[in-house]
Amino acid sequence: MSEDAKVIAIVNQKGGTGKTTTSENLGIGLAGEGRKVLLVDMDPQASLTASLGWPRPEGLYPVITDVMNAVIEDAPFASDKGILHHDEGVDLMPSNIELAGTEVSLVNIMSRESILKQYIDGLKSQYDYIILDCMPSLGMLTVNALTAADSVIIPVQAEYLPAKGLEQLLKTINKVRKQINPKLKIDGILFTMVDNRTNFSKLITEIIRNAYGSSIHIYKTVIPRSIRAAEMSADGVSIYKYDPHGKVGKAYQELTKEVLKGAEKQAEHNTEQLR
């Protein structure tokens, strides 16, 4: 295990871009490569918690809300308390609808942007990767995730509206980088739910590559649209178990390799800078 986990926020303020599917299958993909992984559900809708096999998250305690409240109140809290273990090798800090209340209460709190970071920092030595599945908004919970993260992966659906929202998201990331978290990097843009049969899908991916490709890494791996991927979340298992030979499972395996290769390059670069 590395000295400190790499913390990745999976973020896009648009819903339906494949954030949760990516968080789950990248996390389980990394665990399959021998890495110790914690997934953190940062969405009050608790889609990640449900898709990993806890469909009634309102009965869980503690969840991420309780942890953040403990940080806010400066109350003692064992950092690994409440972490659930999934059969496919990942750990999960779950969420539920109570997190929506935390979004509101954070507004009046001192150092409100760094509440999640204080919790995550206490867990970094126990994991290789910590993946934050963000809610579809650019509110205080997402800002907390960006403050706690080392880097960001942006899943983008190849449609006009999600692509349009990209500009706003990049502004928020830059703002967090300038004001709070100067080390924050964008690991890459990931195209999800791509239907290669349609010219429109191809056109949008081309437009985004031309607009951002020179300044932001765009993953070679493209996640194709698939009915099976939509079905699997009801089963509490990853795409690797649900449809091991399907195109989406293969795509997430490729993404996992790309993410690991990117992390290796970054580590080499950091070592070079220290010399």
Instruction: Dump pLDDT digits (tens) for 136-173.
Output: 999 999 999 999 999 999 999 877 666 678 889 999 99
Q: Choose among 251, 2, 26: nearest CA to 154.
A: 26
What's this model's pTM, rounded to 2 decimal places? 0.94
> pLDDT at position 181, please?
98
- Which residues are CB-neighbours of 83 under 8 A, at least 6 positions away? 38, 91, 92, 93
> pLDDT at position 12, please?
93
| Burial of residue 209 (number of CB atoms within 10 Å: 0-12, 13-18, 19+) | middle
> pLDDT at position 161, please?
63
> pLDDT at position 275, please?
67
> pLDDT at position 141, please?
96
Residues of the chain with pLDDT under 70: 1-3, 160-163, 228-234, 274-275
> pLDDT at position 205, please?
87
> pLDDT at position 202, please?
84
Domains of the chain with bracketed CATH? 6-274 (3.40.50.300)
> pLDDT at position 94, please?
98
> pLDDT at position 162, please?
60
Q: Choose among 122, 136, 111: nearest CA to 47.
A: 136
Q: Choose among 121, 127, 124, 123: nearest CA to 34.
A: 127
